[in-house]
Structure 1
Amino acid sequence: MKEYRVLAAALCMMLVSLIVSGVRNISASAAPESATYDIYEESERLVALTFDDGPKGKKTEALLDMLKEKGVHATFFMIGAQAEEQPELVRRIYEEGHQIGMHTYSHVDLSCLTEEKQREEIEKSRAAIGAVIGEGELMLRPPFGKMNPALEDWLDCPMILWSVDTEDWTGKSAADIIRETAETVKDGDIILMHDISDYGVSGAAGIIDELRRMGYTFLTVDQLFSCRDIELENGVSYRRAR
């Protein structure tokens, strides 16, 4: 009888060992040590949420609070002069994991400027942002989406436009912003919003909730490009305004 008890105990120990080993293997495959953008490739619906014309004091702060609560990273195309005035807000945007890009120094129509003035606007913007977050490549979103061949010829960074314009700056209600975005959005879209909009925070919050319900995942522009292999044509994102 004693021999049977010993054998039963040994079998139990072997069974426990196999179960533990299996759990470990499952855990290892389900939770890799380092997450990469590859985890998004199986998703059918990816979008980038972008904000222009900031940073803008309390409105940008409220927007950041909402994005942090919802666990979303966005891309902020900043006006250089405002970045100079609010370096702490620029730093917060950067430290909370959002992507930062340029929107010129004084929000001017670059297509109307000489090459010399274009360079001045962009370099001043780059310097203002770089003084806070350090040097690095910054994408450019030209104000009004306007550019000319001269700008495309010399510019040394990507220009990023958009494919869904919420027109939140016009005074639209949050409900209209959310509904119209949900009706037009598709995989790979870049959504245009603004820090300065009266309904920007509530509209963006609703867009996040509704699009998540529809199966979308929110990324920065850089992450979206990494996942979707979006090509630039003459340095400009093909995601142009409709």
Structure 2
Amino acid sequence: MKEFHVLAAALLLLLISLIVSGTGNAVSVSEDSTFDIYEESERLVALTFDDGPKAGMTEKLLDVLKEKGVKATFFMIGSQAEECPELVKRVAAEGHQIGIHTYSHVDLSCLTQEEQKEEIEKSIAAIESAIGTTELKLRPPFGKISGSLEAWLDMPLILWSLDTVDWKGTDAAQIIRETVRDVRDGDIILMHDISEHGAEAAAGMIDELQRMGYTFLTVDQLFACRGIELEDGEAYRRAR
């Protein structure tokens, strides 16, 4: 009888263990669900690229992102989007977010309202011509904005919280090392399509941050996960 009770107790413990184990694996992660991704990893970052698209460089970045399974956000210069419409289409087709970075990479804070509007409207038209969307956000060149711009702009402005300074020609190893050292949960990381070592740095950075438990999202996905809602003309500045 004693052996029976011991066996019964062992079977009960095994059953409880199976139930707990099954519950722990019950959440299925859908590729299309931002919130499932968030549940899987609470360390989130958005990788962003400015100043493209640029033939010969943006393709390399897209190849890296595709290989790593990472979605990013590209803030495009309108004049270059006009020159490289097929690249704009590829960026969109591969699931990346597209924003605008003015038409000619100018300091918007130094322009009149009419000049600001021309820069924005021409940028929107360039993207719309390639992929037909106007659901865009603006990253102002140099991070420069003004009260007059915020007053009339009918889209949010997106700045950044971690600048890799890759445009200075810094080698990939240094970019990776400094980014890994400084990164924090929720960061918006700034890189550039035109960086000489951009693709190599992005590949190494992604590998290192993924090993550290970070998940890469687009800016919109990051905001959705964190409940961030911006009004038109409102600038997102994340304090570090």
Asked if TM exceeds 0.5, the reply is yes
- What displacement does 1:38 show? 1.4
Larger Rg: 1
1:160 touches 1:239 (CA, 8 Å); kept in 2?
A: no
- Who is 1:113 aligned against? 111
- Runs (4+) of structure 1 exceeding 6 A deviation are none
The 1-side partners of 2:237 and 2:37 are apart by 21
Structure 2 regions of 5+ residues with no counterpart?
1-18
Q: Distance in 1 between matches of 2:238 and 2:196?
A: 26
2:124–2:134 Cα contact (<8 Å) kept: no
Paired residues of 1:72 and 1:218 also in contact (CA < 8 A): yes
Q: Which residue number corresponds to residue 40 of structure 1?
A: 37
Q: CA deviation at 1:232?
A: 3.6
Q: Rate the CA distance shift 1:98–1:155 in 2: closer, same or farther, 3 A.
A: same
The secondary structure found in structure 2 opposite 1:150 is helix
Partner of 2:131: 133
Q: Deviation per CA, 1:42-76, whole angstroms, max 9, x where unpaired?
A: 32200000000000001111111111111111000
* CA root-mean-square deviation: 2.0
Separation in structure 2 between the aligned mates of residue 77 and residue 33 of structure 1, nearest angstrom: 27
Conservation of the 8 A alpha-carbon contact between 1:231 and 1:238: no
Cα deviation for residue 136 of structure 1 reads 2.7
1:41 is matched by which residue type in structure 2?
Y
Looking at structure 1, the residues matched to 31 and 66 of structure 2 have their Cα atoms a distance apart, in angstroms, of 21
Letter in 2 for 1:174: A
- TM-score for both structures, normalised by structure 1: 0.85
Partner of 2:76: 78
Q: Which runs of structure 2 are paired with 1:132-211 in the superposition (5 Å)?
A: 132-211=130-209
- Structure 1 position 36, deviation (Å): 1.6
Percent identity of equivalent pairs: 67
User: Letter of the aligned partner of 1:235 in structure 2?
Assistant: E
**Superposed displacement of residue 35, structure 1:** 4.1
Counterparts of 2:190 and 2:114, CA distance in 1: 28
Secondary structure, counterpart of 1:208 in structure 2: helix
Query: Structure 1: any 5+ residue segments left out of the alignment?
Result: 1-21
Match of 1:11 in 2: none
Count of residue correspondences: 217
Equivalent position amino acid for 2:234 in 1: G
